[in-house]
Amino acid sequence: MQMRLILSPPQDGITNMATDQAIMEAVGDGHVPPTLRLYRWHPACLSLGYAQSMTDVDESRLQSKGWMLVRRPTGGRAILHTDELTYSISLPQDNPLVEGDIVTSYRRLTEGLRRGLEVLGLEAESRRQSKGRPGSAVCFETPSHYELTFDGRKLIGSAQVRRQKAVLQHGSLPLSGDITRICETLAYPNEWERDDAREKVRQRATTLEHALGKVIDWETAAYAMVEGFAEALGMIFEDSFLTPEESLRLEQLRAEVYSHDAWTYKR
């Protein structure tokens, strides 16, 4: 399968989400090939799932940290994007890799991620999960179906959306740092419950550094994922960039959707 590969420079959360959607639309319209994009975030950004309530966020604490806020086009719960590798893959809806339901396509695409971790020296697990724990605002507290775990702890979280004749799946691999930092900017009734949330995240999620016992830089992790998708899913990559049309569309999406209060505060 011929794939376009885009390695993006660090960008703010609004730009990252607008870019993912612009690529998805272009892929769905047949204007560009299926695309794998690997990227990072600057500054740190809290992202909410499409249907997640803003009441989960402590905005004053978020502002005091200087972290951004964005709402994703995909589902799931809150993620703090910092010190991580983020991937997004956009495919036409009739591509064999995304045939069937979302869970089935998760299982297929996860094989590329799992093989990428093997390239880095890590044997991660992927399986269908039992019913998740209700009530948590934190995405990384509970793995979903076929997300990758190590030693029982969630390592890569992913989410998917299907629209405009295309499928977008994106997800996060925390490379290093304190996995519990997200709890600093979420809303809790008191500090005791915040501390309890930190401990739950610590027990149920991990970083690549903690799993491997050493720090892996972004570039090394990125090229391992490219190798993983190539080997596991038969993808052949060509380095590329956004087209002028995609760049124009992402600027439109930045202004009219992802930086707009009607989108961010819609729930």
Which whole number is the average pLDDT over 234-246? Answer: 98
Can you give the pLDDT at residue 141? 47
For residue 233, pLDDT beyond 50:
yes
For residue 248, pLDDT beyond 80:
yes
For residue 139, pLDDT beyond 80:
no
Instruction: Work out the pLDDT band at 266, boundaries 50, 70, 90.
Output: confident
Can you give the pLDDT at residue 129? 54
For residue 132, pLDDT beyond 80:
no
Q: Which residue has the higher pLDDT, 137 or 17?
A: 17
Which whole number is the average pLDDT over 214-241? Answer: 98
Q: How many percent of the chain have pLDDT more than 70? A: 92
DSSP state of 230: H
Q: Is 45 in the active site?
A: no
Helix/strand/coil for 173:
strand
CB neighbourhood size of 132 (10 A) = 13
Burial class (CB in 10 A: 0-12, 13-18, 19+), 61: middle
Q: What angle do CA 183, 78, 111 make, to 5 degrees?
A: 120
pTM of the entire predicted model: 0.93
For residue 93, pLDDT beyond 90:
yes
Q: In what order do the strands lie in the sheet with 68-71?
A: 68-71, 45-48, 79-81
Is 37 within 8 Å of 9 (Cβ atoms)? no
Can you give the pLDDT at residue 136? 62
| Nearest-angstrom CA–CA distance, 96 and 125 | 23
Instruction: Name the catalytic one among 26, 120, 139, 148.
Output: 139
List of E strands, 198-266: 236-239
| Nearest-angstrom CA–CA distance, 211 and 200 | 17
For residue 133, pLDDT beyond 80:
no
For residue 156, pLDDT beyond 90:
yes
Q: What domains can you pick out in the chain, each with its CATH number? A: 2-264 (3.30.930.10)
Instruction: Give the model confidence (pLDDT) of 165-222 as tens digits.
Output: 999 999 999 999 999 999 999 999 999 999 999 999 999 999 999 999 999 999 999 9
Which whole number is the average pLDDT over 93-120? Answer: 94
Which whole number is the average pLDDT over 103-132? Answer: 86
| Nearest-angstrom CA–CA distance, 170 and 59 | 25
